[in-house]
Amino acid sequence: MFQSFFVYISFGLILFVLGYLANIRQKNDIANNRKTSFWVWEVLLALLVFGFVSGVRWNVGVDYMAYLNNYLNIQNGGSALFDKEIGFEFITNLFAKSRIHFSYYFGFLAFLQIFFIYRAFKDQRYLYPFLGIIIIFGPEYLSWMNGIRQMLAATIFVYSIQFIQKRQLVKYVFTILLASLFHTSALLLLVFYFIPQKDYFKNRWLTISLFVITLYLGTNNSWISILNNLGSALDFLGYDNISMRLEELIQETQIRTFGPRRFSLIIITLITCWFQPLLKGYFKDTYFVTYYNLMIIGFLLFNLLGNTHHIFIRPLTYLSIFSIPTTAFLIVYLHKSIRKYFPILFIILILTLSFLPLSIIVDNGKGNDDFTNYKFYWYHDNK
């Protein structure tokens, strides 16, 4: 457990410092009327650090061993243990058949994940110091290390929002098709281009009311039978023959208790909801409204589906990932007015930094079922 705290805290601090330096560079360039290149040393180093730490991990993420066994089987001359999208298979086969160690393979996939997030906010580098720590210490990092393919597609979706805003249909379709090469479910995201860009959750009291209603409905699964109709759709979107097991999955509820980790996420979201009028005004030259809309929709749907099987929760990661930028915007805003909002900023930072440490403590001692505590591959790999 000590190793986990040391690695994750060092990881977060490095990304924070590099993000701070990237922000300073961009501020200086703006003052001198210069355009800041994306590929500056502090950004490149941040991407490489993220890839390195994620690459040399062992059994972090529930599906890690499945990805690893698939990779090693191909590398040893066998066939893939599961058939996946051609983009994922191309990268897997390229690395495996080139006899490249699996740590580089995992590192490269993580590099791609963080690349699309940093690239999406290259013009708002004031977010960089906070993006890294929100990803690592919130629920996202463990999710990224688990559903690698879908979370890579989700980061590409975050990057693609700019094309919705700029009304560049061809670029948006191309980007989503790229995401679908890693997870077919990304094809669902094509519909977002055609949804009118409005401030759907302008009334915070209405949003809070929707939160309460969906939370209540989420504890009552009597309505869940309507999901029977989703079988063929889930099957097509890459969820592994789900339609054959759909009725069983609908009956198999999973009680997600309101522990400290879920409470922390709820409070962060509600505080963001309360401050959203100020955030929309302060960051009016960004795509904050779109990020906020998608985050709230994901939040409400998670409440609604909270006690269903995790297979119904997984598609929501395309929406919940937007809690990363919305939380970063919130922290930046509160920091700008630190004298007025210091207590709230302090609460947000504590809650933001609490999810992973709590997960480390909860999962410590579970042995092979501990997918949170950080382990280095060289202590476990016998290859």
Task: Going from the first residue of the chain to its last (383 residues), give the mean pLDDT of each consecutive group of 10, the final group possibly shorter.
Answer: 91 96 96 93 97 94 91 86 86 93 96 97 96 94 92 96 95 96 93 91 92 82 55 52 44 54 89 95 94 95 75 84 96 93 94 91 83 86 55
The confidence score (pLDDT) of residue 314 equals 81
253/310 same-domain check:
yes
The confidence score (pLDDT) of residue 91 equals 94
> Which 3 state secondary structure label does DSSP give 199?
coil
Give me the DSSP letters along 206-265. HHHHHHHHHHHHHT-GGGGGGGGGGHHHHHHTTSSSGGGGHHHHHH--------HHHHHH
In angstroms, the CA 79 to CA 83 distance is 10
Q: What tokens were used for 218? A: 């989420």
Number of other residues whose CB lies within 10 A of the CB of residue 277: 13
Structural domain count, the chain: 2
Of 185, 195, 189, nearest to 173 by C-alpha is 189
203/142 same-domain check:
no
Helix%, strand%, coil% for the chain, nearest 5: 75, 0, 25
135/214 same-domain check:
no
Contact assessment for residue 116 and residue 155, using Cβ atoms and an 8 Å cutoff: yes
The confidence score (pLDDT) of residue 153 equals 96
Range of the domain at 300: 196-336
Of 340, 383, 309, 328, nearest to 96 by C-alpha is 383
109/226 same-domain check:
no
Structural domain includes residue 276? yes
In angstroms, the CA 141 to CA 57 distance is 12
Structural domain includes residue 200? yes
Alpha-carbon separation of residue 383 from 76, 368, 373 (angstroms): 11, 18, 22
Structural domain includes residue 286? yes
Angle between helices 64-75 and 86-97 (to 10 degrees): 60
In angstroms, the CA 230 to CA 214 distance is 20
The confidence score (pLDDT) of residue 272 equals 95
The confidence score (pLDDT) of residue 304 equals 84
Structural domain includes residue 325? yes
108/249 same-domain check:
no
The confidence score (pLDDT) of residue 362 equals 85
140/8 same-domain check:
yes
Angle between helices 102-120 and 64-75 (to 10 degrees): 130
Structural domain includes residue 183? no
Instruction: Output DSSP code: residue 60.
Output: -
The confidence score (pLDDT) of residue 247 equals 45
227/299 same-domain check:
yes
Amino acid letter, residue 302: F
Alpha-carbon separation of residue 287 from 11, 204, 278 (angstroms): 28, 19, 14
Backbone CA torsion sign across 326, 53, 177, 229: negative
Structural domain includes residue 155? no
267/371 same-domain check:
no
Q: For residue 45, count CB atoms less than 10 angstroms from its CB and return exposed for 0-12, middle for 13-18, buried for 19 or more.
A: middle
209/129 same-domain check:
no
Structural domain includes residue 342? no
78/213 same-domain check:
no
Structural domain includes residue 225? yes
332/370 same-domain check:
no
137/241 same-domain check:
no
